[in-house]
């Protein structure tokens, strides 16, 4: 697996995939989907898919796939090598969601939550596999949110596919386990090799960030220690996580966004305001032309 | 109360200031690591829309060139005037002819208040000339940027060490008052400026 495309610009999400094995274009295939790095406040979230002919599933079992979380890093690396070595019958694709892309999505004005982002990424990967000519028949997905709703959503989009969405799919289906290994291995590599563009000679960034989970004291300590008063964190951090937000509230300068004001102004005015004397003389009011452009006459600088 | 601007700090060799106008108010005046944290996050999509992130939020931006005849100045008030009678003195440290402005998520467009406001100097000039207002003002500093005070506060500044202000310095001695003492309706069509005047004074 070569993460070079992502490492070139780790502020943007990126899709990387193996060659499509010829056999998967002919024989009916199954596909597994899993993700890695959903919980951490740091680094990318990675979506992985693996696919192979239905007839190859026994071979998968023999290769020893299991839930990637129960395997050691070493075992996962070995299994990933096995996937890469089985290129004649297995294909894989990963979608790396950059932490900056996750923050951007979740902090948008119109809400776009992590579950929707996950669903859309999975849908994109299935579509991509179909587009590459793979004869897909069965799809197994580790659930995000409510399994039956997610399954209905996927079936609505891909009515010709036999789709199974279930919790713990990676321990039930070897193809999902293989997908979870692709996701987990690439997430680990991306985190390990993270290039901090904020780093300079005078501004060294420590790599002692622990597991990346918000509950990890080492991660919390790292977050608190690296706060830059104006900009907050490096883009390695997911600003949209409440852990990150709380640390910024405490340690960084306050930033008031234009759209936050709007929400307050939109609140229903107090009944009293209808009876109060109007403060401004309407004749003094600026023409709409100036109001729209925020133009005011001034005779002095602000202090 | 008077205002003085000391221009001795800027000359032809002064590097132009690189400025970013953000769609938020940062409760901070002072230096910031713009070159480390912000500049490297800027991406150019090749279609004149820039993309960046600040505090995890997506920004879309573009460059704005100042209207003809105007120069932007980065000003710094080294000492606060203690009384109203004392003149306020601002020292210019850098000049600029353009700056980058950022919207939240939406690409910059001609409908943005800031872009539209930049047309005002042309209109104002046309209005003044049509009215033949001849009252002389010896030295007219028209602080356009301060007029956008809501925007101004949010300018993220490089190399800022004290209280700083921005203004646009009206480039030449203007023989006209900018503001005509009449009510008027101004309409503007496309890139051509048409000014309609309705004198409502008795």
Q: Does the structure show a pLDDT above 80 at A107?
A: yes
Residue B153 banded pLDDT, cuts 50, 70, 90: very low
Q: What is the pLDDT of residue A159?
A: 95
Say what the pTM is. 0.77
Which residues sit opposite B6 in a β-bridge? B91
Using CA coordinates, name the residue in chain B closest to A291: B113
Task: Give the whole-angstrom CA distance, residue A94 versus residue A77.
Answer: 15
The total number of structural domains that make up chain B: 1
Give the one of A198, A232, A302 whose C-beta lies nearest to B36's C-beta: A198
Segment among A22-26, A174-178, A197-201 with least mean pLDDT: A197-201
Tens of pLDDT, residue by residue over A206-216, are: 889 999 999 99
Give the one of B55, B77, B147 whose C-beta lies nearest to A232's C-beta: B55
Annotate A231-253 with b (16+ C-beta within 10 A) or e (fewer).
bbbbbbbbbbbebbbebbeeebb
- Tell me the ipTM for this assembly: 0.83
Using CA coordinates, name the residue in chain A closest to B34: A231
Helices (H), chain A: 4-8, 22-26, 57-63, 73-85, 99-106, 114-131, 147-157, 169-172, 174-192, 217-225, 242-251, 258-265, 288-292
Sketch out chain A's domains with CATH numbers. 4-192 (3.30.420.10)
- B73 within some domain: yes
Size of chain A in residues: 303
To the nearest whole angstrom, how far is the Cα of B121 from the nearest Cα of chain A?
A: 11
Residue B175 banded pLDDT, cuts 50, 70, 90: very low
Q: In this structure, are strands A29-36 and B88-96 parallel, antiparallel, or unpaired?
A: unpaired
Inter-chain residue contact A255 with B55, CB threshold 8 Å: yes
Residue A220 banded pLDDT, cuts 50, 70, 90: very high
- B201 within some domain: no
Task: Give the whole-angstrom CA distance, residue A73 versus residue A188.
Answer: 9
Inter-chain residue contact B113 with A258, CB threshold 8 Å: no
Residues 6+ apart with CB under 8 A from B146: A298, A301, A302, B152, B165, B166, B167
Which burial class, exposed, middle or buried, applies to B79 when counting CB atoms under 10 A from its CB (0-12, 13-18, 19+)? exposed
Residue A121 banded pLDDT, cuts 50, 70, 90: very high
Q: What is the pLDDT of residue A271?
A: 65
Q: Annotation-wise, does A198 bind a ligand?
A: no
- B131 within some domain: no
- B202 within some domain: no
> Are the C-beta atoms of B151 and A294 separated by less than 8 Å?
yes
CATH, residue B146: 2.40.128.680
3 state SS of B23:
coil
- B104 within some domain: yes
B-chain residues near A229 (CB < 8 A)? 28, 32
3 state SS of A14:
strand
- B23 within some domain: yes
The arithmetic mean of pLDDT across residues A276-299, rounded, is: 73
Task: Give the whole-angstrom CA distance, residue B105 versus residue A110.
Answer: 10
> Are the C-beta atoms of A251 and A233 separated by less than 8 Å?
no
Q: Does the structure show a pLDDT above 70 at B158?
A: no
How is residue A279 written in tokens?
A: 């403060």
To the nearest whole angstrom, how far is the Cα of B33 from the nearest Cα of chain A?
A: 8
Owning domain of residue B167: 3-110+137-173
Give the one of A200, A229, A293 whose C-beta lies nearest to B36's C-beta: A200
Give the one of A109, A229, A293 whose C-beta lies nearest to B120's C-beta: A293
Among A231, A248, A290, most B C-beta atoms within 10 A, so best to mutate, is A231
């Amino acid at each position: 697996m070569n993460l070079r495309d992502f490492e070139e610009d780790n502020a943007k999400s990126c899709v990387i995939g193996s060659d499509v094995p010829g056999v998967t274009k002919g024989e009916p295939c199954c596909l597994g989907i899993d993700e890695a790095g959903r919980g951490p406040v740091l680094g990318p979230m990675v979506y992985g898919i693996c696919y192979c002919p239905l007839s190859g599933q026994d071979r998968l079992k023999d290769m020893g796939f299991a839930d990637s979380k129960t395997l050691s890093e070493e075992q996962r690396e070995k299994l990933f090598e096995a996937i890469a070595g089985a290129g004649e019958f297995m294909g894989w694709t990963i979608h790396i969601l950059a932490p900056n892309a996750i923050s951007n999505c979740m902090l948008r004005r119109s809400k776009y939550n992590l579950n929707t982002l996950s669903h859309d990424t999975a849908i994109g990967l299935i579509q991509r596999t179909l587009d590459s000519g793979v004869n897909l028949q069965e799809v197994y997905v580790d659930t995000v949110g409510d399994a039956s709703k997610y399954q209905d959503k996927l079936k609505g989009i891909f009515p010709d596919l036999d789709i199974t969405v279930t919790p713990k799919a990676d321990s039930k289906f070897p193809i999902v386990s293989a997908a979870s290994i692709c996701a987990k291995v690439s997430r680990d590599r991306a985190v390990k090799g993270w290039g901090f563009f904020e780093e300079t000679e005078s501004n060294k960034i420590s790599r002692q960030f622990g597991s990346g989970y918000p509950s990890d004291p080492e991660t919390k300590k790292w977050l608190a220690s690296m706060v830059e008063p104006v900009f907050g964190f490096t883009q390695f951090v997911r600003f949209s996580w409440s852990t990150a937000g709380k640390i910024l509230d405490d340690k960084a300068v306050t930033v008031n966004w234009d759209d936050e004001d709007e929400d307050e102004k939109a609140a229903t005015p107090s009944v009293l305001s209808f009876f109060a004397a109007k403060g401004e003389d309407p004749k003094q009011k600026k023409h709409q032309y100036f109001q729209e452009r925020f133009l005011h006459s001034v005779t002095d600088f602000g202090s | 109360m008077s205002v003085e601007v000391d221009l001795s700090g800027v000359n032809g060799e002064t590097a132009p200031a690189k400025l970013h106008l953000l769609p938020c108010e940062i409760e901070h005046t002072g230096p910031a690591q713009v070159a480390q944290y912000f500049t490297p996050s800027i991406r150019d999509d090749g279609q004149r829309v820039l993309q960046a992130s600040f505090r995890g939020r997506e920004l879309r931006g573009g460059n704005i060139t100042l209207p003809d005849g105007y120069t932007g100045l980065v000003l710094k008030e080294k000492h606060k005037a203690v009384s109203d009678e004392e003149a306020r003195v601002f020292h210019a440290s850098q000049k600029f002819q353009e700056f980058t402005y950022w919207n939240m998520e939406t690409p910059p467009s001609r409908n943005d208040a800031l872009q539209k406001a930049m047309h005002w100097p042309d209109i104002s000039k046309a209005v003044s000339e049509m009215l033949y207002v001849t009252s002389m003002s010896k030295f007219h500093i028209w602080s356009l940027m301060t007029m956008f005070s809501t925007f101004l506060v949010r300018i993220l500044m490089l190399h800022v060490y004290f209280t700083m202000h921005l203004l646009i310095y009206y480039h030449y001695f203007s023989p006209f008052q900018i503001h005509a003492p009449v009510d008027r309706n101004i309409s503007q069509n496309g890139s051509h400026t048409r000014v309609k005047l309705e004198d409502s004074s008795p």
